[in-house]
Every structure is written in C-alpha cells, then in structure tokens.
Structure 1
Amino acid sequence: MFKGSLLEAMVAHASENKKPTDKQQKILESAIRIFAEKGYTNTSTSEIAKAAGVAEGTIFRKYGTKDNLLLSVIVPFLKDLFPAIAEGVFNEVMTKDILSFEDFLRAFLKNRIDFFNENKEIFQIVVKEMLYNTELRNEMLPFFLENVSPRIAKIINVFKERGELADFPTRTIQKMVFTFIGGYFVSNFVLLPENGTDSVDKEIENIIRFVMNGVGTGKKPH
C-alpha cells in the first residue's frame, strides 16, 4: 500500500538490490525505467533490450513474457517494502479526524482509489497473475494478509467497542469488508474497467452504505 507511482519507487529499489548477473540487472533497470517513462502498455521488449544492450531473445529466455519481467521486479519490491508501506497508509488514514467507521472507510477508499488509478496497469497485471498463477497466489496472499489483517482487526475492534459495528466476530467482519471492497477494486480496475457515470465520491458513498447496512448497528458516534 503506497501513495504515488509504484514504477518510480521500483526504479530506486531495483538499483539498490543488485541481481546475480550484470545482464539481468541491466534488463530489469532498463525495463522499469522505460515503464515509468512511457507506461507499461506502450513499452516493447525490443525497446527494453536495446536500452539494456542485449538481444530481445535474451529477455524471452530469461523471463518468457513482458508480464513476467514486470513481476520479477514487483514481487521482491513488495516483499521488501510492503510492511512499511502498509503501516504508512494506515497511519495516514487513521488521523484524528476519523471519528467513525464510516470516516475510516471513506478515507481508506479515497486513498486506495487514487493509488489504483495512478498504478492501474501494474494492479491489473498483478491481479490477473494471482487469479491464474497458483504459485504466485500462494506466495503473495499470505504475505498481504499478514501485513494488512492485524491492522484492519485493530480498527474494527476500536469501533466495535464504541458500539458502531454489529456484534459479529472481528474475523467475520474482516472477511465481509475484505470480500466486498476487494471485489470492488478488482471489478472496477481489472475485470470491468470501463468508466462509470458516477463520480468517485458518489461511488465511495454507495460502497459505505452497502458495507454499513451489513455490519453497522445504525448507531451514530457520540
């Protein structure tokens, strides 16, 4: 969880984390630099090969596809930095202005929608790969949950104690919220990415109403 361009952050990360061979390092650094400059879709493997000073066939032999090349940068980046990124996002969202669970959802959704709009191409690739690549899914999902789940649970417990959330087990509320909001992000940015007619603010309010009708008690914070 991060604010800003993931590609720009990965450029710095790749230069600090050297790969076993100079050739591999040059390929990865050239790839993410051009991705950041031109966008993932507008970058060809031939451009990457030329910038790295290697034959295009070398990229295909080492990585197979452009998606795999990007994933070879994304996965170590997330493993190294995701815990700190997640902590930063939740600290940013949970400010003194957050007086209710609705406030938290509103701030969190706005933060993540802005982020996914900024990094739509990368999000689409990661989600599609995790849907179809069992090995990657088994590797990354527990890692995501380990870093996000305890933070969400802590927030849920705060608002349960205030009487804003229904007396369901915290884990149950987590699963309900994760399933709906995660499904919204995947649908909106990957499966059905067409622009809707509703504004972002209106979509956020619709999501909040849907979630709170399911897990809220209807009581307003005092």
Structure 2
Amino acid sequence: MSKGNLLDAIIAQTKLTKKQTDKQQKIVETAIKLFAEKGYANTSTSEIAKAAMVAEGTIFRHYGTKDNLLLSVILPFIKDSIPTMAEEVFGEIMSKNIGCFEDFLRALLTNRIHFINENREIFQIVVKELLYSDELRKDLLPFFTKNILHQISKVINLYKKRGELIDIPSSTIQRMIFPLIGGYFVSRFVLQPDNLDLDEEAEIGNLIRFIMDGLRKE
C-alpha cells in the first residue's frame, strides 16, 4: 500500500477480521467514512450511530468512547501495514536507479506527498491523535522507528559509502532529516491544510536544498 486510497485498505482489512460482528463491521466502516468526510472532531457518535443504523448505546457498549473506536480501527491497520508499506516505498524508489542522495530525497518526497494527498483525512486524524494521545504514541512510535527509520538508515549508509554525505554517524543524520521531513508534512497537511496552490516542484526543491545546505549563505 505505497500508493492508493488508505480508507479502502482499512475497510478491506476490517472485513477480513473474524473478531467483529456484522454490526461492529457496519459501525467501523461508517465511522471511517465520516471521520474522513467531516474530520474526527466534527463527527459525533450519534451521527455514526444514525448513519450505521444502530443505537448510539451500541457504539458505547462495543467501544466505550469515540477515541477507542478510532484506535480500534487505525491502530491494528498501521501495525500490520507499516512493515510492508515501508519495504514497498523504499524498494520502489531505489529500483528506479536513483543516482545521488538528492535524487533519492526528491523521489521519496514526491512519493509521500502524493500518498498523503490521496489520504489527507486519515493522515490528519492520525497526526492529531499522536499529538494528544500518549497511548497511541507508545503503541505506534516503535513501529515507525523499527521500520521507517531502519529503511532510511540503510539508504544513508549506502550514500555515505559512496562518499556523498558527511562522515558523522548515520543515526545522527537520520535524527536531523526525519523530523524535518515529518515536520514539513505535519505543517503542510495538518497545520496549514488550506495552502493548495503551492508549486509542488519548488516546494520539494526548497526542502531538499535546506536539508543539503541549510540556511547559511555562502
């Protein structure tokens, strides 16, 4: 799932689970769609119940709160999907015979911006919950560290061996790059989501230039 609609994948996965009743399945599918359409904060359990044609008490009985409903859907999917998604993304990028590290960054940023644009609502939900939920951070961050950071570290080591990057620990380079890219995605798609008229290539070029050269004028 390196590309495409994440909502469809989440719904498909919920249909495969044997732990849910038909009623729970309907609640989950309805909640996902409403979260994406209206936003998590603007969707009430009463609206979910009405759209799913169940009593609101049924949602409380199965999930307790709207937060738990969200976590019950997104958390298992991300845990199951992150390893495969990370391998797909980095495998796809590196299979294109990327020449230099800047080309890798450009391909990675282009790929992930396209993916987030396709799944903007889910990305916003997850980021907002990560900011406010200690439980979600404790559950998800180890998966990001183990899979995504591991893939980035392999790429950094490759280009260090080629002599393109400075001779400092790969973990240090990783800690400098990853928060910068992640922060850019959060700022663009969550904190300032109305900036739709951005020049995509120029934005990516500026971010890459900042990563490679910083702010100091030579």
Same fold (TM over 0.5): yes
Is 2:137 the counterpart of 1:137?
A: yes
Asked if the contact 1:7–1:35 (Cα under 8 Å) also holds between the matched residues in 2, the reply is: no
C-alpha separation between the residues in 1 aligned to 2:168 and 2:64? 46
Q: Tell me how far 1:166 sits from its aligned partner.
A: 0.8
Q: Secondary structure at the match of 1:208?
A: helix
Whether 1:3 and 2:3 are equivalent positions in the alignment is yes
Residues 50-65 of structure 1 mapped to structure 2, 5 A cutoff: 50-61=50-61, 62-65=63-66
- In the alignment, the residues of structure 1 paired with residue 96 and residue 117 of structure 2 have an alpha-carbon distance, to the nearest angstrom, of 26
How far is the alpha carbon of 1:162 from its aligned partner? 1.0
Q: How far apart are residue 43 of structure 1 and its match?
A: 6.5
| Residue 83 (structure 1) shift | 0.8
Cα RMSD for the two superposed structures: 2.3
Q: Which residue of 2 aligns with 1:219?
A: none
Residue 124 of structure 2 is aligned to residue 119 of structure 1: no
Residues 107-161 of structure 1 show CA distances to partners (whole Å, capped at 9, x for unaligned) of: 0000111111111111111111111111110110011110111211110011111
The equivalent residue for 1:220 is: none
Residue pairs, 1:1-222, within 5 angstroms = 2-32=2-32, 34-35=33-34, 39-41=37-39, 45-46=45-46, 48-61=48-61, 62-65=63-66, 68-195=68-195, 198-214=198-214
Any stretches of 5+ residues in structure 1 without a counterpart? Answer: 215-222
TM-score relative to the length of structure 1 = 0.85
Q: Distance in 2 between matches of 1:54 and 1:198?
A: 43
Secondary structure of residue in 2 paired with 1:59:
helix
Work out the CA distance in 2 between the residues paired with 1:128 and 1:43: 14
Amino acid aligned to 1:39: E
Structure 2 distance, partners of 1:43, 1:8, is: 19
Q: CA deviation at 1:5?
A: 0.8
Aligned length: 211
Moved more, 81-90 or 105-114: 81-90
Q: Aligned residues: percent identity?
A: 61
Displacement after TM superposition at 1:22 (Å):
4.3
Q: Distance in 1 between matches of 2:141 and 2:200?
A: 27
Q: CA deviation at 1:70?
A: 3.1
User: What are the superposed Cα offsets for residues 70-111 of structure 1, whole Å, 9 maximum, x if unpaired?
Assistant: 332111111112211111111111123310100110000001
Which letter maps to 2:200? V
Q: In structure 2, do the counterparts of structure 1 residues 204 and 185 end up closer, same or farther at CA, with 3 Å as the change threshold?
A: same
Stretches of structure 2 that go unaligned for 5 or more consecutive residues are none
CA gap 1:19/1:52 in 2 versus in 1, 3 angstroms: farther
Kindly state the Cα deviation for residue 189 of structure 1 after the two structures are TM-superposed: 1.0
Distance in 2, matches of 1:168 and 1:114, equals 31
